[in-house]
Structure 1
Amino acid sequence: MHTASTASTANTAQAEAWNGYEGAHWAAHHDRWNAVNEGFDRPLLAAAAIRPDGRVLDVGCGAGATTRLAARTARHGHAHGLDLSGPMLERARTVAAREGLANVSFTHGDAQTHPLPEAAYDVAISRFGVMFFSDPAAAFANIASALRPGGRVAFLCAAEPEGNDWLTALTALADLLPVGGFGSPGGPGMFSLADPGTATGLLRTAGLGDVRAEHVSAPGTWGRTAREAADFLLDSGPGRHLLGAVGPDEGARARDRLTDAFRAHEAEGAVRLRSTAWLLTGTRPA
């Protein structure tokens, strides 16, 4: 189930983050991060239209939740996940093996430079894994070359920052935490493709046709209680970075205020926060 990558990594800053604390946090809490994002699975898979015999490339697959979904849909085909994060891929392989999925594999590599096989895949998918390229033009061109003629992409990327309840609550703490610029478009980073014109332009430059951007939104479960949700967000990579820039008193007040903000979203034993995304689709010309 393990496929090693010999390709160099051009995206060094992101590689450091996703093989450091950020990747370790996502790997350790993969079920919780999946609960945050799984509301987008249905529109992603509908756009991907994976056939039972399909061959799927999952870009930025992380701990492999969407790769496993694709493998179950392509039950007579194959799903292959590609990601920069060693800790997350280790978790992906462990879970796939535990679930007995034989038609799934994973590679540790950089989509910008990894030597993907030419015209090998029917569809490339990604659930929030395409916003972190230092050279998105190179990455999308590489991915497009791996599609067969007539093959397609279905990518989810974060849309406008203000459409995310968790970010609205976090940026309200500007008097306590250095959140200025957090969530601003530009990359690589979570909101690097928040402008749909930028995102669709990159796909067209990669040689894809019939490129579209559909605005979608979904709730995600961040915890059972407001305090649990606040702790989860502040213990993630971005939250840890923000807390590390202030003293313990400011950090404690920020945690309490974030907890208070999340209480408005607490219902039926869960804290659900809305997020927005662009669903990007396109096709490699036949």
Structure 2
Amino acid sequence: MHGIANTSQAEAWNGYEGDHWADNHPRYDAVNSGFNEHLFSAAAIGPRDRVLDIGCGNGQVTRSAARRAGQGSALGVDLSAPMLARARAAAAEEGIANVSFEPGDAQVHPFPGANFDAALSRFGVMFFADPEAAFANIASALRPGGRLAFLTLRGMSSNDLGDVFAAMAAHLPSEAARAPVAGAVSLAEPDRLRELLDSAGFTDTAVTPVEAEQVWGADPADAAAFLCDWAPVRHLLDGADPAAAGRAREAAVEAMRPFARPGAVALRGAAWLATAVRP
């Protein structure tokens, strides 16, 4: 792997968290793929485009980009070796030849300069250690006129998942209860997004609110169990008093019930869709 600046995230995504996402890739895609159409509509990928997917994870977005750029190519970059292995295996299983995956930290990765027609990310940019450096590096990888489109979570008060976390937090220390979403909502302020993109040299910046359905499980117990196995929540519960952690788990099940329908627990997810152009 090329140089890594974001060492804490690299450690997390090459440990339990990366393994859990790779092992449960269909479930995480069920949580996030409802946003795909928003992202691809904004990215406007053409058949000959060269596409860069930042924080590609298990590679669903990268593979979809490669299909859209059938005479071009798509490159996915991520810190997680387990997820990159899953992404490569899925591409091989699906017979997609114009896609590739590389380990790398978007903040410092030596992308070929002015090479890509479009860069995109589905919830990968929230975890940059130095977002100023990362967006500047991504800008340098785009050709003049190249497009950037990415999704980042809005605050938990805008997401149904916030209701579930609030129910759990009632049984946990207040500071600890906020920890699971701290990184995920690090870019939840649209003014901050505009500032970052402007400072990286992008123009025509737009930040638009979007929503999508997020399927967390087959029923409330299944959805709550999956959420509680998500690394930040699991870490929180493992560090809590066992009785309190048990009550928080039970509260998660109850909080999922209003979102249940036959065969699925579907929460409303809320994100910012940011777009910009390299001049």
Q: TM-score range by the shorter chain?
A: over 0.9
Task: Note the C-alpha offset of 1:250.
Answer: 2.0
Matched to 2:246, the amino acid is A
Corresponding position of 2:198: 204
Secondary structure in 2 aligned to 1:131? helix
Q: Is 1:140–2:135 an aligned residue pair? A: yes
Aligned-partner Cα distance in 2 for 1:79–1:207: 23
1:264 aligns with 2:258: yes
Of 256-265 and 103-112, deviating more is 256-265
The Cα shift of 1:182 comes to 5.2
Is the CA contact 1:125–1:153 (under 8 Å) kept in the aligned structure 2? yes
Match of 2:60 among 65, 79, 100: 65
Secondary structure of 1:56's counterpart equals strand
- Contact 1:183–1:190 (Cα < 8 Å) also in 2: no
Confirm or deny: 8 A CA contact 1:223 1:270 kept in the other structure. Answer: yes
Provide the residue aligned with 2:80 in structure 1: 85
Supply the distance in 2 between the matched residues of 1:115 and 1:104 (Cα, whole angstroms): 18
Decide which of 45, 48, 56 is 1:53's aligned counterpart: 48
Determine whether 1:275 maps to 2:258.
Answer: no
Deviation at 1:239, TM superposition (A): 1.4
Q: CA deviation at 1:198?
A: 0.5
87-96 or 172-181: bigger deviation: 172-181
How far apart are the structure 1 equivalents of 2:214 and 2:180? 22
Cα shift readout 1:27-60 (whole Å, capped 9, x = no counterpart): 1101100000111000100000000111000000
* TM-score (norm. length: structure 1): 0.94
CA contact (8 A) 1:140 1:202 kept: yes
> Which structure has the highest helix share of the two?
2
Identify the residue that residue 237 of structure 2 maps to in structure 1: 243
Which residue number in structure 1 is paired with residue 213 of structure 2?
219
TM-score (norm 2): 0.96
**2:169 and 2:248 in contact (8 A); partners too:** no
Deviations, residues 185-240 of structure 1 (Å, cap 9, x unaligned): 997x1111100111111011110000010000111110000000000000110111
State the shift of 1:177 in Å. 2.3
1:185 and 1:194 in contact (8 A); partners too: no
The 5 Å alignment of 1:140-219 reads 140-178=135-173, 180=175, 189-219=183-213
Measured in 1, the distance between the counterparts of 2:250 and 2:181 equals: 30
Deviation at 1:181, TM superposition (A): 6.4
Gaps of at least 5 residues in structure 2 are none
Q: Deviations over 1:236-277 (max 9, x none)?
A: 101111111223322222111211111111102100011111
- Secondary structure of 2:120's match? strand
Conserved? CA contact 2:45–2:65, under 8 Å: yes
Amino acid at match of 1:95: A
Q: Is the 8 A contact 2:169 2:177 kept in 1?
A: no
Do the aligned partners of 1:185 and 1:193 also contact (CA within 8 Å) in 2? no
**AA in 1 matched with 2:169:** A
Contact 1:157–1:278 (CA<8 Å) still a contact in 2? yes
The structure-2 alpha-carbon separation of the partners of 1:129 and 1:179, relative to structure 1 and needing over 3 Å to count, comes to: farther
C-alpha separation in 1, matches of 2:246 and 2:75: 42
1:112 is aligned to 2:107: yes
Contact 1:174 1:180 in 2 (8 A): no
Whether 1:98 and 2:93 are equivalent positions in the alignment is yes
Q: When the two structures are aligned, how many residues end up with a matched partner?
A: 279
Q: CA deviation at 1:167?
A: 2.6
Cα distance, 1:163 vs structure 2: 1.3
